[in-house]
Structure 1
Amino acid sequence: MTKINDAVKLVVKENPLYATMIKSGLVNYANLARKIQPTVESMTEKDVKINTLVKSLTQIKPETTWGKQIDLLRNSKLSLDYKYKEKLVPRPEDIDSKAIVAVRTPQGFKCLMGGMDDGDLALIKIELPEDASRSPGLTLFVVEYLMLQKVNIEKIYRFDTEIILTARQEDAVKILEHLSNLIYRSKV
């Protein structure tokens, strides 16, 4: 049977997001404890309280190899734009020039349209450095981080050196704030 502290350290070490969050100082220990609780309980074969996990998490000393994802994000550009909406068109030739992204669906082509007066979505764009295209897991890292912060994202698009997130306009500033904290204020 594994000790609780050992199980927590292993779970954190094996997950780049958890490791980076602890190293950066931007972690919400209670949320992270809730997230890892089932895994730790499975590893230790006993019930573990959230407070015990929080205490274990706060005692972890970050390793120097943690934080590669944030290093890549630090060299990124972050932007926010409003008045976007999704539109479904039946054929590719019906895609409007205002479309930012078009995705084939069984019903036709779903387009993300920009500059729409009746648009209720916001677009958060992360323009990544060139070497980020060779770094797997960066989009997952960003999305998992935002999930830990309990913010709602509508859609995620990843291109070579861009991550585009869409969200309701009322959630956009909160998402941008969390991303800014991750990218520009973390201690990594």
Structure 2
Amino acid sequence: MITIPQAVEMVIKVKPFLSEALLDGLINISALARKIKPEIEKIILKEAKHGAIVMALNRLSPQVNFSINKSIDKMKTMLGDIIVRSDLSDYTFRNSKTLVKGHMKVIESIADNPNIFYTLVRGVHESNLVITSYYSDLVEQYFKKEELIHKTQNLSAITVKLHESNSEIPGFYYYILKSVAWEGINITEVISTTNEFTILVNDEDVDRAFSELKKMKRPGKLYSI
């Protein structure tokens, strides 16, 4: 049988923003108790008293504090070098049978230049392509028959190298994105590989975004290309 404190912990722990707001004292506990009461009752399969939920939330705060701080500390050890690439163009194309052919032609053209930023991510219905703007004429040439949905220029990429065990930390990417989002910085694209995490922002926002990510990591190497 699940108790009210256990149910409250289950509800709060899956809501990172809520956990932090609770920790920082930004939430009215009584109002929060009313808000999550229906969820609590679904979990415990019976009516829950408002006062019991309030008490459980108050007791949960120290535990949330420890859990968040522990996760943040562990996350900081996993943030490696930060690399900034500027002057990028972002294209979104409708998926087609010929899209890959254009991609292969671009790859062949830039194969001898490792300093070019280039990535293609294929989704269910559309594909996203980001390239160093100086070489955007290759995209215009090899993708001219494709359906262009959207194009954005004057972008910068900030890539954070990650420890190989980053996937073992719950909410890992949340902490990275939150630090940028709370500064009102718009993230136009997110690109992720196993050990690298890249965000695309407007050129005018790159300094602020870089500064926020730099604050999160322990001393290491910073690169700008």
Q: Taking structure 2 as the reference length, what is the TM-score of the superposition?
A: 0.53
Distance 1:93 1:108, change over 3 A: farther
Give the Cα separation in 2 of the matches to 1:182 and 1:73. Answer: 6
Gaps of 5+ in 2: 1-8, 38-60, 111-115, 137-152, 220-225
Is 2:71 the partner of 1:68? Answer: yes
Question: Residues 45-80 of structure 1, C-alpha deviation per residue, up to 9 Å, x if partnerless?
Answer: xxxxxxxxxxxxxxx657443332442233422221
Shift in alpha-carbon separation, 1:130–1:37, aligned structure 2, 3 A: farther
Query: Per-residue displacement from partner, 1:84-115 (whole Å, max 9, x unpaired)?
Result: 11134651121224563212257753211135
Which runs of 5 or more structure 1 residues have no equivalent in the other structure? 1-8, 45-59
1:100 to 115, 118, 121: 118
Quote the RMSD (CA, aligned, Å).
4.1
Assess if the C-alpha contact under 8 Å between 2:90 and 2:131 holds in 1: yes
Please report how far the alpha carbon of residue 163 of structure 1 lies from its aligned counterpart in structure 2 after TM superposition.
Answer: 0.9
Match status 1:78 vs 2:86: no
Counterpart of 1:68 in 2: which secondary structure?
A: helix
> Matches of residues 29-68 of structure 1 in structure 2 within 5 Å?
39=32, 42=35, 63-66=65-68, 67-68=70-71
One-letter amino acid of the structure 2 residue matched with residue 161 of structure 1: N
Q: 2:185 maps to what in 1?
A: 151
Larger Rg: 2
Q: Contact between 1:133 and 1:161, CA under 8 Å: does it hold in 2?
A: no
Q: Name the residue aligned to 2:99.
A: 91
Give the aligned length.
159
Secondary structure of 2:213's aligned partner: helix
Q: Does 1:125 align with 2:159?
A: yes
1:183, 1:22 → 2: CA distance? 24
Instruction: Kindly indicate whether the alpha-carbon contact (under 8 Å) linking 1:91 and 1:108 is maintained by their aligned counterparts in 2.
Output: no
8 Å Cα contact 1:17-1:141 kept in structure 2: no
How big is the shift at 1:12? 7.2
Q: Equivalent pairs: percent with the same residue?
A: 13
Q: TM-score, normalised by structure 1?
A: 0.61
State the one-letter code of the partner of 2:120.
A
Which SS does the other structure have where 2:88 is aligned? Answer: strand
Residue 80 of structure 1 aligns to a residue in which SS?
A: strand
Quick one: distance in 2 between partners of 1:87 and 1:166?
Answer: 12
